[in-house]
Amino acid sequence: MTVRIAKSPGHADDGSITHKQILTILSGLMAGMFLAALDQTVVSTAIRTIADDLSGQSLQAWVTTAYLITSTIATPLYGKLSDIYGRRPFYLLAISLFVIGSLACTFSTSMYELAAFRAFQGLGAGGLFSLSLAIMGDILAPRERAKYQGYFMAVFGTSSVLGPLIGGLFAGANSILGIAGWRWVFLINVPIGIAALLIVYRVLHIPHTPRDHRIDWWGAVALVVGLVPLLTVAEQGQQWGWSSAGSLILFAIGAIGLVSFVLVEIRMKEEALIPMRLFRNSGFTLMQVTGLLVGMAMFGAILTLPLFLQIVRGATPTQSGLQMLAMTIGMMSAAVISGQLTARTGRYKIFPQIGMALVVIGAVLLAFFLQIDTKNIWLWAMIFLVGFGIGNCMQSLTLATQNSVPSQDMGVATSAATFFRQVGGTIGVAVFLSMLFSLLPKNIGKQVAAAMPDPAFQQAAAEHAHSSDPAVIGQSIAHMGQQMEADTSFLQHIPAVLAYPFKQGFVDSMHPVFLLAAVVAALAFVVLLFFKEVPLRMTSALVERQQAAKAAAAADSAAGGPDEAAHGSHDAGDVPVPVGERIPGLTDGHGHAADGQPDAADGGGSAPPGPGRHSRPD
């Protein structure tokens, strides 16, 4: 049987995918990624205001936990299902679920409702990042793909700037158009999401080759059983106590679930959500380990630095977001530079190595030189260095993962890379915050003891306690120390001399955290030394899959003999797909190629596909 891959009369002279065609598809992908990236920064800025209004400060962590659990679990599911059924329907589904969840969050009347709706929203978020990167892997060869990294980093950079501003604006407004200001944090996603949905529906039409399949339902169940308890205890363990009965039970259930998941995946073989054969590829395995470590170091730095700016420097959430712009600029510039150099040279291993080395240096500098009175120029320089290091890693690791697997595994490999980075980030946040707050009481105690002989401190402490009784003053100071784990806003309302030991104690507690981040980054650097750089492929995953289907069809045709001849297996419309061939079926939704030319796959003059296996648009 014959697979007909039609040559379009509108392809570029050199047979390559046109830049305009790529940008057309990128517009849809970036719309979806912008939706998810903006939501993260907007919500984090406004969450305290939301919790105050819904009378649930103690429950605000569950809003984050619920979203994290569902988005992390959904990530590998999107990857596997999109490999089977095609990217486009699942990307549309991800945006739709995200928009519906955002609309539901707008009408929340309690923190429990908000947590439930955020969980639903996370089901969509899990597909927005991983499918965007998988689609990039489909339409662009790895060597060419590196050139377009800057576009995606621009999305993150823009959301990093706009997110805190929009979140602060909405959280600070009593009402906008008769609706409570904080509810617009979620409502703003609806028009953006609808626009993204329309763009994707219109421009994202890529060929997909159907394949026989079974759904790995048991693997999905085991993944849920394994991750839900572990992610929950990672987020809540600091509050519950890591050795508490509840934490230990969740650890046990999670371990059983993960072991069950591995056993199910081994049994399911090629039908597994994450086929275990991929881990026999040393390049793939090393990239996932590195991604896990990078996620730990990255999220640890991104989380603790805003805490320093807000608690120690007294910055508002919006101001701290703007000051973190130094890290965003570092990430964006590194991604653009590394992408361009990768495209020109074909080398990519060196960039995550350089990136992790810079993260180590930046984290060590923060550990030894970050103080209450550190000048902004030096603070921004250190933050920029960490961001520049991270920017050298994010896209390069995904590129290395995609280049290490066969084209038919593009979706599951990309989602695995996203999945392990998210899990690493969750572990990093849990470990770093636990370390920070476990060191805090001891370090505050040291600083208070050192400040006690100061008459100015004694007077400020007595005035705050409204008593000259040393016992009452001691109780007042102890109460402020306990508040540091719950609500640090009191630091901005007490005399500077009284606040100083608490702020310095917080800074002292951050130093070991940054040292730990440096150790994690150094470990990632060592792992990267064992990675063997494989030359970047020069063809896209779609072209490779179509070539494989054509070869298989040719073999079937040779075995079928006269029956195939009756179907015109050598029609003039059938041509080989050369390296960089413009992919038929990439249309704007109106039967035309994305570069404005009629596509042969949509009536451009080629013969219709022969019987049997063939590529069809998603």
Is 573 a domain residue? yes
Domain boundary among 533, 564, 581: 533
Query: What's residue 380's pLDDT?
Result: 92
Task: Assess if residue 49 is contained within a domain.
Answer: no
Mean pLDDT of 273-284: 87
- Distance between CA atoms of residues 157 and 322, nearest Å: 11
Q: What is the pLDDT of residue 57?
A: 60
pLDDT value at 452 more than 70 = yes
**pLDDT tens profile 100-118:** 999 999 999 888 899 899 9
Is 197's pLDDT higher than 60? yes
Conformation bin of residue 35: beta by default, left when phi > 0, alpha when psi is -120 to 50:
alpha
> In which region does residue 89 sit, left (phi positive, over 0), alpha (psi from -120 to 50) or beta (all else)?
alpha
**Residue 590 located in a structural domain:** yes
Q: Are residues 582 and 435 located together in one domain of the fold?
A: no
CATH at residue 334: 1.20.1250.20
| pLDDT tens digits along 298-356 | 876 677 788 888 888 888 767 777 788 888 888 888 888 888 888 888 888 999 999 99
% residues pLDDT > 90 (the chain): 18
pLDDT for the residue numbered 379: 92
Per the DSSP assignment, residues forming a β-bridge with 595 are none
Same domain, 529 and 546: no
**How far apart are the C-alpha atoms of 374 and 362, rounded to whole Å?**
15
Q: Are residues 300 and 390 in the same domain?
A: yes
Give pLDDT, residue 356. Answer: 94
Q: Are residues 375 and 311 in the same domain?
A: yes
**With 90 as the cut, is the pLDDT of residue 253 above it?**
yes
pLDDT of residue 63: 82
Shared domain for 528 and 545, answered yes or no, is no
Same domain, 514 and 382: yes
Q: What is the pLDDT of residue 507?
A: 92
Contact 237, 430 (CB under 8 A): yes
- Provide the domain limits for residue 528: 289-533
SS (H, E, C) 91-136: HHHHHHHHHHHHHHHHCCCCHHHHHHHHHHHHHHHHHHHHHHHHHH
Residues 362 and 317 in one domain: yes
- Of 503, 533, 563, the position where a domain reaches its end is 533
Query: For 180-244, where are the alpha helices, taking DSSP H only?
Result: 184-187, 189-203, 217-240
Residues 363-406 have pLDDT tens digits of 999 999 999 989 999 999 999 999 899 888 877 888 888 888 88
Instruction: Report if pTM > 0.85.
Output: no
User: Of 523 and 581, which is predicted with more confidence?
Assistant: 523
Residue 304 near residue 361 (C-beta atoms within 8 A)? no
Per-residue pLDDT of 563-594, as tens digits, reads: 444 444 443 333 333 334 444 444 444 444 44
Residues 427 and 483 in one domain: yes
Residue 586 lies in a domain: yes
Assigned domain for 213 exists: no
Confidence of residue 522 (pLDDT cuts 50, 70, 90): very high
Comparing 454 with 41, which gets the higher pLDDT? 454
Shared domain for 371 and 435, answered yes or no, is yes
Structural domain total, the chain: 2
Is the pLDDT higher at 7 or at 460?
Answer: 460
Length of the chain: 618
Give pLDDT, residue 599: 42
Helix, coil or strand: residue 417: helix
Report, as an integer, the average pLDDT of 530-546: 77
Residue 303 lies in a domain: yes
Q: What is the mean pLDDT of residues 33-61?
A: 76
3-state secondary structure 478-502: HHHHHHCCCCHHHHHCCCHHHHHHH
Would you say 6 and 573 are in contact if contact means Cβ atoms under 8 Å apart?
A: yes
Q: What is the pLDDT of residue 567?
A: 44
Mean pLDDT calculated for residue range 88-101: 93
Same domain flag for 325 and 416: yes
394 occurs within a structural domain: yes
**Mean pLDDT of all residues belonging to the chain:** 78
What is the DSSP secondary structure assignment for residue 533, as one 8-state letter?
P
The pLDDT of 495-522, averaged and rounded, is 91
> For residue 424, is it within any domain?
yes
Containing 389, the helix (H) or strand (E) segment is: helix 376-391
Q: 144-148, 176-180, 188-192: lowest mean pLDDT where? A: 144-148
Banded model confidence at residue 525, pLDDT cuts 50, 70, 90: very high
Cα 109–Cα 112–Cα 114 angle in degrees, nearest 5: 60
202-249 per-position pLDDT tens digit: 877 776 666 667 778 888 899 889 888 888 887 777 778 888 888 899
Q: Tokens 């965007």 map to which residue?
A: 132
CB 235 within 8 A of CB 65: yes
Q: What is the pLDDT of residue 150?
A: 65
Q: Do 553 and 529 reside in the same domain of the chain?
A: no
With a cut of 60, say whether residue 613 has pLDDT above it.
no
Indicate the residue among 533, 556, 577 that finishes a domain. 533
Q: Judge if 528 and 562 occupy the same domain.
A: no
Q: Is 212 helix (H, G, I), strand (E, B) or coil?
A: coil
CA distances from 118 to 68, 100, 239 (A): 9, 10, 21
